[in-house]
Amino acid sequence: MDTIIKKFHAVSNALGIKWAPFHVPLSRRLQTLAVAAWMCVVLFGEVACVLLFIRLIYSSYWWLALLYGFWMINDIDICNKGGRKVEWVRNWSWWRYYRDYFPIKLVKTTELDPSKNYIFACFPHGVLCSGASGAFATNALDFYKIFPGMTCNLIALGSHFKVPFLRELGLAFGSCASSQESLLYLLDKKKHQGKCVVLFVGGAAEALDSHPGEYKVTLSRRKGFIRIAMKSGAPIVPVFSFGETDVFCPANNPQGSLLRKFQEKVKQITGISPIFPFGRGIFQYSFGVLPLRSPINTVVGAPMEVDRNIEPTDEEVDAVHAEFTKRLIDLFESQKSKYVKNHENIHLIIT
Ligand SMILES: *[C@@H]1O[C@H](CO)[C@@H](O)[C@H](O)[C@H]1NC(C)=O
């Protein structure tokens, strides 16, 4: 037996594979399971749900598909009307194991005012927004306790809410679509107060720039969220997830490379950046699609007040945008020493 194990290790070493130890505490195994299950949802969930729906149509349960289809069409606009949050789903212990895997932390720097609505402008997107989605799409990070009187809605691409079955999970998280209608609805102070609308400003474009140890954000031409803030009068809160870019090691894709051109093309067509999420496997640390166990600290900065202006001119938008960019850099620079290794040499790159 011993010689077999020795040989196995010799072969592994030759191949450069690093195995997980045999004796791992149960809690850590559950964390890995939680993250692996989540990766299955992310990678295969949409295709699986569409196939399931089609399979149902061609089965003796076709009437179920029909009923659900009718109901979904009737319900299709809910993602623009505040969504349908289910606290029970946000409370699942799945998300607490997911949180502890990295681990993810949510850090407050100032109090928020529950009589206002806020735009949380989150950076960086990373490959899968692992930190911010844990913090704002679930209750695992105790958002309601950290920000008393506040609630949060994560904003996602509208196409996710058109996938049968999986849309219900997205809606349960409290997610809403990224349309102007949806954002202005959520931020409407006459309808509700204390809402934090969580936007990934850099979106899929920023995801392509996610590489460990680098902080490159897509902001200089992103002005839609500034217009929304001005139209609604909602303050903008810079939110920065330190470590978000460290949890996956995607292939190198510099501007102009063949891989980058392919990714840009798919993004243009589908709105989603195709990135193979190189991280680790379940039983070994050398390859696979699980994220690495590397801490993510999602830091919520101080709100920047924005004057209400229903028809802002381009110059007015540019001025607010410049001020916000400065605030984001300030947040990054003032916090990085706590969360970034080698922080003296790491700066925020804005494209
Ligand atoms: C969710 O958890 C919070 C505590 O974090 C609790 O106050 C609330 O009642 C729970 N809600 C449901 C529906 O389980």
Per-residue pLDDT reduced to its tens digit, 115-161: 999 999 999 999 999 999 999 999 999 999 999 999 999 999 999 99
Q: Whose CA is nearest to atom 14 of ligand 1?
A: 88
pLDDT at 312 (0 to 100): 96
Which atom of ligand 1 is nearest the CA belonging to 90? 1
Q: What is the DSSP letter of 201?
A: T
Which one has a higher pLDDT value, 95 or 255?
95
Answer whether residue 246 shows pLDDT above 80: yes
169: which 2 tokens?
A: 């999970």
Answer whether residue 1 shows pLDDT above 60: no
Residue 232, classed as helix, strand or coil, is: helix
What number is the average pLDDT over the span 93-111?
97
In angstroms, the CA 45 to CA 291 distance is: 18
Q: 204-245, pLDDT tens digit by residue?
A: 999 999 999 999 999 999 999 999 999 999 999 999 999 999
How far does the chain reach from its first CA to its final CA, in angstroms? 56
Of the chain, the percentage scoring pLDDT greater than 90 comes to: 83
Q: 266-315, pLDDT tens digit by residue?
A: 988 888 888 887 888 877 777 788 999 999 999 999 999 999 999 999 99
Q: Strand 296-300 and strand 236-242: pairing?
A: antiparallel
**DSSP run (H or E) holding 156:** strand 151-156
pLDDT at 283 (0 to 100): 79
Q: Per-residue confidence at 17, pLDDT binned at 50, 70, 90?
A: confident
20-34 core/surface letters (b: 16 or more CB in 10 A; e: else): eeeeeeeeeebbbeb
Amino acid present at 338: K
Answer whether residue 11 shows pLDDT above 60: yes
Contact 106, 140 (CB under 8 A): no
**DSSP run (H or E) holding 287:** none
pLDDT at 134 (0 to 100): 97
pLDDT at 182 (0 to 100): 97
Contact 287, 280 (CB under 8 A): yes
Which atom of ligand 1 is nearest the CA belonging to 144? 5
Among residues 13, 15, 59, 20, which one has the least CA distance to residue 36? 20
Tell me how far the alpha carbon of residue 106 lies from the centroid of ligand 1, in angstroms. 18
In angstroms, the CA 101 to CA 27 distance is: 9
The HSE-up count of residue 9 (CA atoms within 13 Å, CB side) is 9
CB neighbourhood size of 166 (10 A): 20
Min mean pLDDT across 99-108, 283-292, 311-320 is at 283-292
Q: 164-210, pLDDT tens digit by residue?
A: 999 999 999 999 999 999 999 999 999 999 999 999 999 999 999 99
Q: Whose CA is nearest to atom 2 of ligand 1?
A: 91
| pTM of the model as a whole | 0.92
Which of 84, 86, 87, 142 to mutate for ligand 1's pocket (most ligand atoms within 8 Å of CB)? 87
pLDDT at 14 (0 to 100): 66
Tell me how far the alpha carbon of residue 89 lies from the centroid of ligand 1, in angstroms. 10
Amino acid present at 245: T
Q: Is the CB of 77 under 6 A from ligand 1?
A: no
Which atom of ligand 1 is nearest the CA belonging to 91? 1
What is the CATH topology of the domain spanning 25-350?
Answer: Glycerol-3-phosphate (1)-acyltransferase (3.40.1130)
Residue 280, classed as helix, strand or coil, is: strand
Q: 44-68, pLDDT tens digit by residue?
A: 999 999 999 999 999 999 999 999 9
Which one has a higher pLDDT value, 22 or 82?
82
Tell me how far the alpha carbon of residue 87 lies from the centroid of ligand 1, in angstroms. 6
Tell me how far the alpha carbon of residue 26 lies from the centroid of ligand 1, in angstroms. 25
Among residues 301, 330, 288, 284, which one has the least CA distance to residue 20? 284
Min mean pLDDT across 5-19, 94-108, 192-206 is at 5-19
**3-class SS letters over 56-114:** HHCCCCHHHHHHHHHHHHHHHHHHHCCCCCCHHHHCCHHHHHHHHHCCEEEEECCCCCC
Min mean pLDDT across 49-63, 90-104, 249-263 is at 249-263
